[in-house]
């Protein structure tokens, strides 16, 4: 049976994931940690509550993530100027350097993948990816399928 668009998208997801895991092999970095670093990179120094919301996880998990990132020198916890309960998680120079390099790799990969698409197809391809992204956002925002009743049948 021929792979469908969804099959392809799922395969692309898992390739991207494997690529990331291989890039981080041998370092203390993981996908979850790098995700957190990206959020801070774009949002600036952030409280752990903010990070928890942005990452779609719990404050407890953020504590653990920030612990790991701090131990390995990628972030620092700085006191919040106005709220003595809170901390501002801040990128270190080391993190800044690594993410600058990561952004460059990101740009290179973008160009590489796009150039793999036949030039006459590119515009339609980009529109299609955009359309699928938005449709999928809608679906996920609404009710998701559940296999609950299958299990508890």
Partner DNA sequence: TATTGTTATACTCTATAACTATA
Partner DNA sequence: TATAGTTATAGAGTATAACAATA
| Residue 49 touching a copy of itself (CB under 8 A) | no
In this structure, the number of other CB atoms found within 10 A of the CB of residue 62 comes to 22
State the residues that interact with DNA by CB under 7 A: 28, 30-33, 47-50, 55, 57-66, 68, 77, 80, 83-87
| Residue 27 touching a copy of itself (CB under 8 A) | yes
Q: Is the dihedral of CA 25, 27, 32, 35 positive or negative?
A: negative
Give every CB contact of residue 40 below 8 A, 6+ residues apart in sequence. 46, 51, 75, 89, 90, 91
CB-nearer residue toward DNA: 9 or 72: 72
| Residue 43 touching a copy of itself (CB under 8 A) | no
CA 110 to CA 104: how far, in whole Å? 10
Positions that interact with a copy of itself (CB under 8 A): 4-13, 15-19, 22-29, 56, 72, 94, 97-98, 101-102, 105-107, 109-110, 112-114, 116-118, 120-137, 139-140, 144-148, 150-152
């Amino acid at each position: 049976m021929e792979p469908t668009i969804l099959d392809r998208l799922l395969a692309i997801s898992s390739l991207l994931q494997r690529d990331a895991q291989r890039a981080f092999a041998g370092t203390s970095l993981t996908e979850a940690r790098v995700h957190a670093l990206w959020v801070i990179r774009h949002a600036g120094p952030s409280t752990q509550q903010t990070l928890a919301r942005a990452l779609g996880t719990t404050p407890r998990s953020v504590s653990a993530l920030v612990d790991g990132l701090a131990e390995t020198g990628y972030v620092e916890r700085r006191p919040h100027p106005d709220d003595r309960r809170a901390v501002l998680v801040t990128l270190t120079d080391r993190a800044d350097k690594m993410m600058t390099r990561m952004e460059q790799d990101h740009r290179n990969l973008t160009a590489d993948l796009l150039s793999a698409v036949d030039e006459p197809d590119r515009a339609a391809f980009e529109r299609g990816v955009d359309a699928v992204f938005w449709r999928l956002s809608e679906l996920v925002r609404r009710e998701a399928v559940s296999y609950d009743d299958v299990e508890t049948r």
